[in-house]
Amino acid sequence: MKNLLDNLYKNQSIIYKSFLLAFSVFLIVYFFPTGGQFKYEIIKSKPWQYENLYAPFDFAILKSNEEISAEKSKIIETHIPYFNYDVNTGKEVKSSWQNQLNTSQDSLLINNLAISEFISGTIDEVYENGIRIKDESVNNYTIVFLIKDKVVNEVLYKDILTQEDLKPFLNLKINESDLLSIRNDLLEVFFEVFKVNVEYDKALNKNQIQSKFDQISYTRGRVSKGSKIIAKGETIEGEKLRMLRSLKNEYESQSLESSAFVVVVTGYTFLVLLSLLMLLLFIRQYRPDIYDNNNKITFIFFNILFLVFLTLLIMRLDTDYIYVVPLCILPLTLKAFFDARLGLFTHVITVLILGLVVPNSFEYMFLQIIAGIVTILTVSELYKRANLFISVVQITLVYIFAYFAFNMIKEASIAEINYNNFIYFLLSGVGLLFVQPLIYAYEKVFGLVSDLSLLELSDTNSKLLKELSNVAPGTFHHSLNVANLAEAAANEIGANSLLIRVGALYHDIGKMKSPIYFTENQTTSVSPHDELSPTESAEVIIGHRLEGIEIAKRRNLPDRIIDFIRTHHGTSTVYYFYAKQKEEEDGEVAIDDFRYPGPIPFSKETAILMMCDAVEAASKSLKEPNTQLIDDFVEKIINKQIEEDQFINANITFKEIQSIKKILKAKLNNIYHLRIEYPD
C-alpha cells in the first residue's frame, strides 16, 4: 500500500495530465454533433472526382435558399393586408357630433335643417369605410380586407380616407352643395368631430403571412433509390449540384442507429485524442518548463475547450454564423502568456478538431489557419492598444480577402458569393479586441503573468519601487543599473527582455528591511558589520533573499518575478565574510553557513540576472578601471559562476554566455570610460 501511494505521489503530474486529456476528449466528443456524415466533398463547377454516385435511398431535392427567399418575397408582395374597423368610433361620432360644437358653431344649425342634414350625411359617407392614418408602405390602389364588426369586406385601400385626404374630400362635397359661403365654418366642424377608426392589424397580418410561409414546399421533386446522381468527371453544377447538396443534407439530418452511433463516437474520440496528444507531446518536447507546470497545461486546455464549445454553440444556433467566433483570440492569448510558436501550434490543433464537424471543413480550416498565422506574425507588444487595433484590422482584412478568393474558385461567380460572411468577419474582429480584459481575467484566475502586467510592474513610479528608492536609494540605483545591463543582454540572445527588466527591478527589495547593512546604502565609512561577527553579517546579507520573497508575496507580485528574487544568488557564497571568518578562526570554517540556499537559476532570464547582478555589484570595487581590467573582471566573475555549476539547470548555452559577456564588457566600458580633463 505504501509503495502504491509513493508511486502515485511520484507520478501525480503524469496522472493529472492523463486525467485532463481524457476529460477534455470526453467533453469535446460529448458535445459534438453525431448525425450522419457525407463522405464526399462538393465543390461547385469542379469535376466529380469520385466514382459514379447512385442514390442510396429515396430523398427529396431541396430548393435553394434563393428560391425559398424569392417565394417568400412574392408572398409578402401579393399579400392583401387586413385592417380593423372600429364600429364604436363611427357610431359615437354620428350620435354625438352636435354636442361637441362650440357656441359659434351651434349658431349655424339654428333653424337650418339643411346644414344639419349635410353634416350628418357627410359623416355617414366618410365612415362608410372609415378614417385611417396614412401609411406609405401600402399602395393606395391595392385591395385590402376591412374587418367591420367581425365581417371581412374587400375594399379599395384608397377608399379608406386618411387625415390628409379629408380636406380635399370635404371641399369637394361642399362644392357640390349650396353651402359654399360657410365653407370654413363647416370644415372647422368636421375637423373637430372626426376621429381615426381604422388601423392595420399587425398580429393578424403576421399570422397570415406566416401561415403562407408554412405552406411553402422546400423540395422540388424526388430522387429514387438506385438512380444515378452524378458520373465521375461530370461538372458539379445545376441540377447535379442541387441533388448532391440535398443528399448531403439528408445524410446530416438522419439520426444514427445505436451501432452506427457507437462507431462514429469512437472515431471522434480517437481523432480528438490524437490531436490533443500531439499538442501535449509538442509541449513536452519543445516547452518542457510549461509541460512540468500543470497550471499552465490546464490553462492551455481550458482555452481550447472554451473556443470549441463556443463554436459548437454557434453551430447549434445557425451554422452560417461560425465565422463570428473570434478563434484567433487563442493564439493571441497564448502568445501573450507563452510564445508565438506554442500559440500557433495550439491554434492549428484546435482548428483541426473543429474541422471534424463544421460545414465546408476545408474552407473553414484554410481560413482559420491563415488567420492564425497572420495573428502570430502581426501582433507584437500587445500591451500597446494601437498595435492590437492595427493587428485586428489586418486579421479581418485577411479573412475577407482569403474568403473572397476561395469562393471565387468555389462558386465560379462573384455574384453568388455569400457576402454576409464579410459582416461576420467584422464582428469576429470586434471580438478580438476583448483579448485584453480576457488576459487580465486569466492572470487573476490562473496566476499567470502577461506582458501587460509586466509593463505595469516596470513603472518605477509604482508604490513598491518608490518605497525602495526612499528606504534604500543605493539599492534602487543598483537595481536600475542591473535592469539596464540585463535588458541589453536579453535582447542580444533573444530572451524575454521585459520580464528580465522587471525581475531586475525587484530582485533586491528584501534589502529594504535592513538597508544600512548593504554597502550601496552606506553614506559613511562606519559600517554596522563592524559590530557583528562574520557569521552574523553573512546571515543578514543572505537573509535579504528571504525578506524579499516575503515582501513580494505581501505585495502580490507574480511568481515569475519572485523567481528572480529566489535565484539571483543561486547557491553562491558570501565570500568576503567567509574569508574573514577563516582569518579570525585560523582554521576550517563550515562554508555552508556562508552559502545562499538557492535554488540556482532555471531559465535564461534568471541566469542573465545572476550574471548582471554579480558583475554590477562587484564593479563598484574597481579602483582605476580600464578596458583590459573590465574584460578580465567580467570573465572572472562569470567563469566562477560557471565553475560553481550555477547555470546547469538553465537552458542557456556557452555561446549565449559568451554573447552576454561581450555585452557586459561593452556596457561597463561605456559606464567607466575616462573623460578628458577640461582646462581650468
Tell me what pLDDT residue 676 has: 45
Which region among 60-69, 100-109, 367-376, 648-657 has the lowest average model confidence (pLDDT)? 100-109
Place of cell 535592469: 483
Which region among 102-111, 234-243, 390-399, 539-548 has the lowest average model confidence (pLDDT)? 102-111
Is CATH 3.30.310 correct for 457-672?
Answer: no
DSSP code, position 230: E
Tell me what pLDDT residue 610 has: 93
In three state form, how does the secondary structure of 356-396 look?
CCCCCHHHHHHHHHHHHHHHHHHCCCCCCHHHHHHHHHHHH
Residue 624 has pLDDT above 90, yes or no: no
Cell numbers placing 122 = 357627410
Q: What is the pLDDT confidence band of residue 673, given thresholds at 50, 70 and 90?
A: low
Tell me what pLDDT residue 301 has: 96
Query: CA 326, CA 307: separation in Å to the nearest integer?
Result: 8
Q: What is the pLDDT confidence band of residue 207, given thresholds at 50, 70 and 90?
A: very high
Residue by residue, DSSP assigns 520-564 as GG--SS--GGGGS-HHHHHHHHHHHHHHHHHHHHHTT--HHHHHH
Give the amino acid at 194: F
Cell numbers placing 296 = 499552465
Give the range with max mean pLDDT: 80-89, 416-425, 518-527: 80-89
Residue 111 has pLDDT above 70, yes or no: no
Query: CA 458, CA 499: separation in Å to the nearest integer?
Result: 9
Cell numbers placing 391 = 493587428
Radius of gyration of the chain (CA): 42
- The dihedral through the CA atoms of 154, 159, 162, 166 has a sign that is negative
Instruction: Identify the three-state secondary structure at position 54.
Output: strand
Of 326, 555, 554, 319, whose CA–CA distance to 425 is shortest?
326
Q: Are 361 and 355 in contact (CB under 8 A)?
A: yes
Of 405, 412, 401, 335, whose CA–CA distance to 372 is shortest?
335
Which is more confidently placed, 631 or 527? 631
- The pLDDT tens digits for 426-473 are 999 899 888 888 888 888 888 788 877 888 888 888 899 999 999 999
Which region among 7-11, 220-224, 238-242, 530-534 has the lowest average model confidence (pLDDT)? 7-11
Q: Are 661 and 626 in contact (CB under 8 A)?
A: no
- The dihedral through the CA atoms of 337, 341, 344, 348 has a sign that is negative
- The pLDDT tens digits for 559-615 are 889 999 999 999 888 877 777 777 777 667 777 788 888 899 988 899 999 999 999
- The pLDDT tens digits for 329-358 are 999 899 888 888 999 999 999 999 999 888
- Which residues is 153 bridged to in the sheet? 146
DSSP code, position 573: B
Q: What is the pLDDT confidence band of residue 186, given thresholds at 50, 70 and 90?
A: confident
Tell me what pLDDT residue 104 has: 62
Instruction: Identify the three-state secondary structure at position 63.
Output: coil
What is the end-to-end Cα distance of the chain in Å, rounded?
87
Give the amino acid at 44: K
Query: CA 349, CA 433: separation in Å to the nearest integer?
Result: 23
In three state form, how does the secondary structure of 468-511 look?
HHHHCHHHHHHHHHHHHHHHHHHHHHCCCHHHHHHHHHHCCHHH
Give the amino acid at 342: L
Cell numbers placing 310 = 463556443
What is the layout of strands, in order, in the sheet containing 161-162? 151-156, 143-148, 82-85, 198-200, 131-132, 161-162
Query: CA 499, CA 153: separation in Å to the nearest integer?
Result: 81
pLDDT mean over 359-370: 89
Tell me what pLDDT residue 678 has: 45
Q: Provide the strand spans (E) within 82-150.
A: 82-85, 131-132, 143-148
User: Rounded to the nearest 5°, which phi and psi values hold at 607?
Assistant: -65, -40
Residue 540 has pLDDT above 90, yes or no: no
Q: How many residues does the chain have?
A: 680
Tell me what pLDDT residue 639 has: 92
User: b/e string for 662-671 if b means 16 or more Cβ within 10 A?
Assistant: ebbbebbeee
How high is the mean pLDDT of the chain?
84
Query: CA 4, CA 7: separation in Å to the nearest integer?
Result: 5
Which is more confidently placed, 658 or 169? 658
DSSP code, position 50: S
Instruction: Identify the three-state secondary structure at position 112.
Output: coil
Tell me what pLDDT residue 482 has: 92
Write out the H or E segment, with its range, that includes residue 223. strand 219-223
Of 110, 160, 114, whose CA–CA distance to 138 is shortest?
160
Tell me what pLDDT residue 258 has: 62
Q: Are 318 and 332 in contact (CB under 8 A)?
A: no
Domain map of the chain by residue range?
37-58+228-252, 75-212, 258-446, 457-672
Of 381, 424, 389, whose CA–CA distance to 403 is shortest?
424
pLDDT mean over 292-319: 92
Write out the H or E segment, with its range, that includes residue 198. strand 198-200
pLDDT mean over 306-314: 94
- Which residues is 82 bridged to in the sheet? 145
Tell me what pLDDT residue 409 has: 75
Cell numbers placing 165 = 385626404
Give the range with max mean pLDDT: 173-187, 353-367, 618-632: 353-367
pLDDT mean over 628-644: 89
Instruction: Identify the three-state secondary structure at position 352.
Output: helix
Q: Are 625 and 672 in contact (CB under 8 A)?
A: yes
Q: Which residues touch 539 (CB under 8 Å, ≥6 apart)?
A: none
- The pLDDT tens digits for 649-670 are 888 899 999 999 999 988 888 8
- Which residues is 85 bridged to in the sheet? 148, 198
- The pLDDT tens digits for 53-91 are 888 778 888 887 778 888 898 998 888 889 999 888 878
